[in-house]
Structure 1
Amino acid sequence: MDEQVVPVLRATDAARAVAWYRRLAFVQEWEHQFGPGFPRFVSVARGDVRLYLSEHQGDARPNTLIHLYVRDIDAVSGEFDVPVDEEGLAGRECELVDPDGNRLRIATPRP
């Protein structure tokens, strides 16, 4: 197994969060819930990139910032109708905020 780090992001409604991340080409891998009415903990992945979305209040704080590097920033820009900053620190980048206030700086590195 390759080593990796998996950020945990706060989600108040895991199903809504999964639907939003689907727009970034993430797919749900699995979901854990101790029982009906308990918070859900979900894994989503985009290729080798993985995020955990947690409804558990103690797992993550709202307003977390993560950086995501993608091959085609223009596709993300078009999907979310946001401008690309051509002079971003990480390359050509844009910033998104998910439904729970988590911030994503998404970039395609300069060649």
Structure 2
Amino acid sequence: MSEIIPLFRVFDEMKAKEFYIQYLGFTLDWEHRFDDSAPLYMQISRDSLKIHLTEHYGDCSPGAAIRVDLVGIEHFHEQLIQKNYPYSRPGIEIAPWNSKELCVIDPFGNKIIFYEES
């Protein structure tokens, strides 16, 4: 086994792209629909992290959470704040286990917790 790719359920293609690509800085790798009226399935990536975003009923439940190890969390935080995204203004917190953590929640209730070990 070599990698895990999390799936997040999304409900609005434009909101998903605004959040993940414009705000968080992911790249759209590919997208797929069985036909023009079919739900969207796409892969996004940033560095070595890949996430699949799916509109397909039954692929997964909204409200999932993942933890992502990130070196340079303060720089990443500053990048997010400078974008002045109106729906998210995350802060950095020190967890009881002493890691720095930055939590973002997408428009569909999915959570990404970026963390950096101290």
Q: Quickly name the TM-score band, shorter chain normalised.
A: 0.7 to 0.9
Rounded to whole Å, the distance in 1 between the matches of 2:10 and 2:98 is 26
Rounded to whole Å, the distance in 1 between the matches of 2:2 and 2:109 is 28
Aligned to 1:57: 57
Q: Which residue identity does 1:57 align to in structure 2?
A: Y
- Alpha-carbon RMSD across the aligned residues, in angstroms, is 1.8
For 1:26-49, what per-residue CA distance to the aligned partner results, in whole angstroms no more than 9, with x for missing partners?
100000001111100000001111
TM-score (norm 1): 0.87
**Structure 2: 5+ residue stretches without partners:** 81-87
Change (3 A) 1:88 1:100: farther
Q: Which residue identity does 1:102 align to in structure 2?
A: N
Which shifted more, 50-59 or 61-70? 61-70
TM-score (norm 2): 0.82
Count, aligned residues: 109
Which shifted more, 10-19 or 86-95? 86-95
Aligned to 1:24: 24
Rounded to whole Å, the distance in 2 between the matches of 1:97 and 1:48 is 20
Three-state SS of the structure 1 residue aligned to 2:28 is strand
What is the CA distance between 1:74 and its match in structure 2? 1.9
Percent identity over paired residues: 24
